[in-house]
Structure 1
Amino acid sequence: MDKTDFTDQLQKLKDGELNELTVQPNDFMVFQEAFMDFDARKRVVGAAQKGGTVVYTFEKDQKE
């Protein structure tokens, strides 16, 4: 995956088209670039899994 792919995935996560986004350890640095440029990154929450995989979800507002 490249930065554009991760940017698209983050937007889908925000829009509710994806429930979660899984990032493998070998893709983390590319993901990090997209993540740092993402406008709603403070609402993206990651949970580390065994083996270095991270599963990200998006926190919705109470109103949403």
Structure 2
Amino acid sequence: MTKEELQNQLNELIQGTIDGITIEKKDFMTFREIWINHEEKESIIGEALHNGNIIYRYRSK
């Protein structure tokens, strides 16, 4: 997945358009860069799945 696609999915997650984002192991470092610099990062919670995948959900404050 491209950085732009990941950014768009993160925006949709925060807006409530989608309930979660599943990030595959191969895309983790790209997503992490976006997440770590995001102002809402404390509300974006990751849950580890099998095979190195992670699902992120948004929890509003």
Structure with the higher fraction of residues in helix conformation = 2
The TM-score normalised by the length of structure 2 is: 0.90
Query: What CA distance in whole angstroms lies between the structure 2 residues aligned with 1:37 and 1:2?
Result: 17
The SS at the match of 1:51 is: helix
What is the RMSD of the two structures over their aligned residues, measured on CA atoms? 1.0
| AA in 2 matched with 1:4 | E
Structure 2, unmatched stretches of 5+, are none
> What residue ranges of structure 1 are gaps of 5+ in the alignment?
none
Between structure 1 and structure 2, the one with the greater Rg is: 1
Identity %: 26
For residues 14-63 of structure 1, the C-alpha deviation after alignment (integer angstroms, 9 at most, x for no partner) is 000010000000110111111122220110000001111000000023xx
What TM-score comes out, normalization by structure 1 length? Answer: 0.86
Matched, 1:45 2:58: no
- Separation of aligned partners in 2, 1:35 and 1:25: 15
User: What amino acid is aligned across from residue 39 of structure 2 in structure 1?
Assistant: D
Count of aligned pairs: 61
Residue number in structure 2 paired with 1:12: 12
